[in-house]
Homo-oligomer: A and B are copies of this chain.
Amino acid sequence: MRAKSITRVDVLAKVTGRAKYSDDLKFERMLHVKVVRSPHPHARILGINSQKAMEIPGVVAVYTAKDIPGIPGQPKERPVLAPEVVRYAGDGVALVAAETEQAAIAGAAAVEVLYQELPAVFDPEEALQPGAPVLHADSNLVCHHKVRKGDVKQGFREADIVLERELSTHRVQHVAIEPEAAVALPTLEGVTVYCPSKSPFNVRRVVAETLGITQSQVRLIQPAIGGSFGGKDYDMSVMASRAALAAKLSGRPCKMVYSREESIIEGTKRQPYKMKYKVGAKKDGRLTAMEITIIGDAGAYLSKSAMIAWRSAVEAAGPYVVPHVKTDVICAYTNNVYSDALRGFGSPQVDFASETVMDVLADELGLDPLELRRLNGLKSGSVSATGQVMEAVSLHECLDKLEEALDWKKRRVEIKEENKGTGKVKGLGLACIHRGESLGAGGEGIDTAGVTVQVQRDGSVTLYSGLSEVGQGGHTMLARVVSEILGINPQRIVVSPVDTAYVPDSGPTVASRGTVLAGNAARLAAEEVKGKLAGIAAKALGVEPEELTFADEKVFVRNDPAKMLPYEKVVALCYAKSQNAYGHGWWSAPELWWDHDKGCGKPYFSYTYGACGAEVEIDLATGKVDVLKFVAVHDVGNAMNREEVKGQIGGGVAMGIGFALMEDVKLRQGVIENTNLDEYLIPTSLDIHDIVPVIVEHPGLHGPLGARGLGEPATSIVAPAILNAIAHALGRRIYHLPADLEKVMAEIGQRKNDGFGKGAE
C-alpha cells in the first residue's frame, strides 16, 4: 500500500535548471558588495582609508564597523565587520559596494587598512598555556565537557590488556556546490534578505542585531539551496548581515556572492581534534575501561564549538558497553579559521578514534573485528557511557546485515589473496556507530519544529515549515508524512518556500534532526486536519470518527469499506460547513537532562545505528587508495523515501571518502594555503566506485512513522571503515587523518622495512 518512494518536490526545478539560487536573483539598481579581509591572523586595526577605493569608477560606498547601527556581533562570535581587532586571517574589516562586481573587487583591493600585528597562537594546547595570546576575555578555554562512568582505574586494573593510542583528525570544509550568496533589499522599516541557510531564524536574529531593528522587521526568504552540510549557518549570518547593512546604508538592493576562494578563506571548518585513547579489555575482548582525552581547535570564534565538543564527549566511547569511562573534551580558541558544524557535528572525529582503537584491540587480541563489536555492542537495556539506559537499539541488526552484505569472514580472507603480482593490495575494514538524534541536552537552541498544513477547497494542500530544504529532501519527507496520514496522493501537496514572515521557527537543519523534529510536527499538523475531516466524514456517514480509515484518496469505514466518501468530497463538506481545514503541528524534543559537573545524564532522546564496511585497493607504487566497494548499513527506522535514503547514503559516503583520503585545509601561521579546488581536493566521480546502501527499518522511539535521522550517520563512520581497510591491506595503521598519498606512501615504506612486500606483490 505504501509508496516507498515519492518524487522529490523540488526535482523538476532542479533538473531543468529553473530553480533560482541567490546568485540568480537580480533587482533594479542592485549593488555588488565585496569584503576587505584581514591578511593577518591577529592584529589591531589602526585605521582604514577608503579614499583610493572611492576613486575607482563604480564604487559607491565603503562601510566599516563604525557604520553598523546595531552591534557588530555577540561577544566571542565573529563580528560582521571587526571593530578593533581581527582574530583570524579572513576576518572582514570593510565592505565595498559598487555598481558592478568588478568595481567592488577593485575597490576592496584598494581599501588601505593599517594594522598593528599582535602575537598569535595556532595550537589549541599552546593556547591554553599561561602567557599565550588571549583572543576573548581572559581565557582561550571554550569548554571542557566530561563524561564519567564507574572508575577507570578499577577498569584498567580489571583489564587483561591495556592499549593507548594517539590519533588526530584534521580541518575540512563543506564545499557545497553553491558558495555563500545573499541578496538584501532595503524596506522602509527593515530589510528583506534572500539567502540560503540551514538556520534561517539564527541568520535573521544576527541581521536584526546588526541593524538594530526587531526580528520581525527582517524578512528572510530562502531561494533554492545548493547544499549546506552544516555550513551556511553562522557564515551566512555574517554574510546576510553584511548584505543587509550595505542595503540599509545605501538604500539599494545589495548582492554578495563569494568566490570559491573567499568561501574557503572565510568559511567555517570541521574542528580538528587531537585524541588520546586508553582502552582496557579482557582477553576475550570484553571492554573494561576507556579513558579519553581530546583537545579541539575552535579557531578564532565560538559558534557551535562547545555544543559540538559536548556531542563528541557523549559519543567518544563508541556504541559499546564500557563499564568504566572517563572522557574529557576540551576546546580552545586559536587564531586559526574558526570551526562550526560540519556534517557529523563532532561525531566523525570520535568515531574515527573509537573505531580505530577497536580494530587495534581486535588485532592485539587476535579477534575478528566484527565479533569484537558484537561482543561489546550496545543492546536495548544496555547502559551507555553517560549512564543512559538505551532503548530501541539496532546495532546488532546493522552488524548482521553488514556481515551478510560483505560476506565478511570469507572476504576478509580471500581479499588478501587477490591482486598478487599487480602491485596493489586490498583490504576490508568496518566501523559502526551510535549517534544521538537532534540537538540533545547540551543544545542551547530550541529543539522544536513547527509545520502548518492547509487543505485547500479543491483538496490540494499547502504545507510550510521553518525546516530548510538544503538538498536533503526534507521537504519531500514532509509531503510524504502528510500524504500518508491523509491517505492522499503526494502530488496534491505543495511545499511553500521558507520565509520568516510566515513560517514558525523550526530551529536549524542540523544534527540529523529534520526528519524527527519537523517530520513529527508535520504528523501532528496532518493529524489535526485529519481529525477535523474525520469528524465531518463520520457525521456524513453516520459512524464514529474512530471507525474511519483515510487511504487511497478515500475516507471509509474500516469494517465496511463500501461505506465511503471520496477525500475531495470530505474537503468540500468541510468548507461548506465553514470548518477549519488548517492544522498546525509543533513538536518539542522529549525532556532530557545533563549534569555538566558529574558528566552524566540522558543526553539524547533517541539514537541512530549503523555499520559500514569498505573494501579498498592500494597502489603500492603511488599510495593511491581506491574504495572499490562501500557497504553502508543504516537504520533509518522507516525509509520515508527509499531513493532519497539511498541518495543521502551515497552522498555521505562520498563526503566520508574525501575526509578519509584527501580533503585537508592547510594552514601556515593561520593562513590557508590551499584556497581553491585545484589544491583542496574533493572526491570526483572517478573516486567513487560501488556504494551499496543497506536500509534497516527498526522503528525509532520518537520519529514520525518510526523514522530516524540519517544525514550525519551517513558520513560519520566512512573514514574509520576505510582506514581499517587500509590497515587490513597494509598491515600498518594510519592514526592521523587524512590518509593521503604521502601518509599512505610513508606506511608503504615502513611496511617494506617491516618485511612485507618481499613476496609476489
Contact = CB atoms under 8 A, between A and B. Distances in A.
A630 to B, nearest CB: 35
Nearest to A439: B578
B456 A494 contact: no
Contacts of A582: 450, 504, 584, 586
Given A28-B26, A501-B497, A502-B502, A216 B580 contact: no
A449 to B, nearest CB: 10
A255 to B, nearest CB: 15
Given A450-B580, A582-B586, A460 B188 contact: no
A95 to B, nearest CB: 24
A462 interface: yes
A102 interface: no
A454 B201 CA distance: 13
Interface string A564-587: 000000000001101110101010
Interface in A430-469: 446-448, 450, 452, 454, 456-462, 464
Interface in A448-503: 448, 450, 452, 454, 456-462, 464, 492-494, 496-497, 499-503
A588 interface: yes
A183 B493 CA distance: 24
B464 A217 contact: no
Interface string A1-32: 00000000000110010100000001010000
Nearest to A497: B501
A188 B18 contact: yes
A219 B460 CA distance: 12
A318 B576 CA distance: 31
Contacts of A501: 462, 464, 494, 496-497, 502
Nearest to A588: B578
A215 B456 contact: yes
A489 to B, nearest CB: 11
A88 to B, nearest CB: 28
Contacts of A454: 504-505
A205 interface: yes
Contacts of A201: 457
Contacts of A175: none
Contacts of A505: 454, 456-457
Nearest to A455: B216
A493 B501 CA distance: 11
Contacts of A116: none
A423 to B, nearest CB: 52
Interface in A158-208: 188-190, 201, 205, 208
A660 interface: no
A492 B216 contact: yes
Interface in A490-533: 492-494, 496-497, 499-505
Nearest to A16: B188
B216 A493 contact: yes
Interface string A582-623: 101010110000000000000000000000000000000000
Residue from the set A16, A190, A460 with the largest chain B CB neighbour count within 10 Å: A460
A497 B456 CA distance: 19
A185 to B, nearest CB: 11
A215 B502 contact: no
A492 B190 CA distance: 12
Contacts of A12: 188-189
Contacts of A217: 460, 494
Interface string A205-247: 1001000001111010000000000000000000000000000
Nearest to A503: B502
Given A578-B588, A580-B586, A582-B586, A500 B214 contact: no
A494 B191 CA distance: 12
Residue from the set A26, A493, A586 with the largest chain B CB neighbour count within 10 Å: A586
A456 B214 CA distance: 9
Nearest to A507: B578
B450 A215 contact: no
Contacts of A16: 188
A513 to B, nearest CB: 13
A502 B461 CA distance: 11
Interface string A99-131: 000000000000000000000000000000000
Residue from the set A502, A504, A588 with the largest chain B CB neighbour count within 10 Å: A502
A361 to B, nearest CB: 40
Contacts of A205: 457-458
Contacts of A502: 452, 462, 464, 496, 499, 501-503
Nearest to A202: B457
A216 B460 contact: yes
Contacts of A589: 578
A458 B214 contact: yes
A540 B588 CA distance: 20
Contacts of A215: 456-458, 460
Contacts of A460: 214-217
A502 B494 CA distance: 11
A499 B221 CA distance: 13
Interface string A347-385: 000000000000000000000000000000000000000
Contacts of A462: 216, 500-502
A575 B446 contact: yes
A169 to B, nearest CB: 32
Nearest to A589: B578
A447 B588 contact: no
Contacts of A496: 219, 501-502
A505 B201 CA distance: 26
21 contacts: A189-B494, A205-B458, A214-B460, A214-B492, A214-B494, A215-B456, A216-B460, A216-B461, A216-B462, A216-B493, A446-B578, A448-B578, A448-B580, A450-B582, A452-B452, A452-B502, A452-B584, A456-B505, A502-B502, A504-B580, A584-B584
Given A18-B188, A580-B586, 14 more contacts: A12-B188, A13-B188, A26-B28, A208-B458, A215-B456, A216-B456, A446-B578, A448-B580, A450-B580, A450-B582, A496-B501, A497-B501, A504-B580, A580-B588
Which 4 A-B pairs have CB atoms at the shortest separation, nearest pair first?
A214-B460, A216-B460, A502-B502, A496-B501
